[in-house]
């Protein structure tokens, strides 16, 4: 944004988490947000992001790797439902050596509307063949939790900064999540399907 002569405050940056580039940039650029300019900025940002990931790697947040591998071993289907471009998701999963764990990936390239619209979650559920009410979303932004609610899905909210998230279960770190949390949330849903899905969210700007 600085290269475009636009100054963005940290508060604006934090408020953008979970949203698509077109939604973010239309707010930041205002009347100057032409399709060509937004595409130019978005492409430059995503290219830089992937370069940094491939150069420096990316550590998972506390508890994430343990939970992802545990759910995989227990037979849960897992999907990534993200506002990030597909190329970014692939770069992150490759860096974490975790591509094989996820049965479905839905990116910004696959949907027309960003969170809090439920489209990305519903698309992920359909892609792996699980009913929405049997899905559990793991999210760390309000827009994502709201999208899960609109999709009719249970949610685990990870509040890194202590702010309230309107999820079914909220923790400050996945390290602190009750070992039976996923089973309890799944059991509380209507018993109409035996398949279980954890929708793991990975957005562009957060490790």
Query: Which regions of the chain carry the CATH code 3.40.50.1000?
Result: 64-200
The pLDDT of residue 204 is above 60: no
Q: Identify the pLDDT of residue 15.
A: 87
The domain defined by 2-56 folds into DNA polymerase; domain 1 (1.10.150)
The pLDDT of residue 194 is above 50: no
CA–CA gap between residue 199 and residue 183 (Å, rounded): 14
Q: Are 63 and 175 in contact (CB under 8 A)?
A: yes
Percent of the chain residues past pLDDT 90, beyond the cut: 78
CA–CA gap between residue 52 and residue 75 (Å, rounded): 33
Of 1, 52, 64, the residue nearest 200 (C-alpha): 64
Query: Which regions of the chain carry the CATH code 1.10.150?
Result: 2-56
Which token pair is 120? 């990305």
CA–CA gap between residue 119 and residue 156 (Å, rounded): 18
Higher pLDDT, 201 or 132: 132
Q: Identify the pLDDT of residue 202.
A: 41
The domain defined by 64-200 folds into Rossmann fold (3.40.50)
Predicted TM-score (pTM) of this structure:
0.79
CA–CA gap between residue 101 and residue 111 (Å, rounded): 22
Task: Pinpoint the alpha helices (H) of 57-118.
Answer: 64-73, 86-95
Per residue in 30-67, pLDDT (tens digit) is 999 999 999 999 999 999 999 999 999 999 999 999 99
Name the strand (E) or helix (H) holding 41. Answer: helix 35-56
C-beta contacts of 39-44 below 8 A and 24+ residues apart: 41/1, 41/4, 44/3
Which residues are 158's β-sheet partners? 171
Instruction: Using the structure block, give the residue that is written with the tokens 């759910």.
Output: 71
């Amino acid at each position: 944004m600085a290269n475009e002569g636009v100054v963005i405050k940290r508060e604006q940056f934090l408020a953008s988490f979970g949203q698509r580039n077109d939604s973010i940039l239309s707010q930041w650029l205002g009347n100057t947000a032409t399709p060509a300019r937004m595409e130019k900025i978005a492409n430059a940002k995503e290219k830089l992001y992937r370069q940094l990931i491939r150069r420096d790697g990316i550590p998972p947040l506390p508890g994430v790797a343990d939970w992802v591998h545990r759910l995989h071993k227990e037979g849960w289907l897992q999907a990534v439902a993200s506002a990030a471009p597909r190329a970014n998701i692939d770069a992150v999963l490759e860096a974490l050596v975790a591509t094989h764990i996820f049965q479905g990936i839905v990116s910004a390239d696959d949907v027309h509307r960003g969170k809090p619209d439920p489209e990305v979650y519903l698309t992920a559920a359909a892609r792996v063949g699980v009913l929405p009410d049997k899905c559990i979303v793991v999210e760390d932004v309000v827009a994502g939790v709201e999208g899960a609610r609109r999709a009719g899905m249970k949610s685990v909210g990870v509040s890194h900064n202590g702010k309230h998230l309107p999820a079914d279960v909220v923790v400050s770190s996945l390290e602190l999540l009750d070992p039976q949390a996923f089973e309890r949330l799944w059991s509380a849903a209507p018993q109409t399907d035996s398949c279980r899905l954890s929708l793991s969210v990975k957005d562009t700007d957060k490790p």
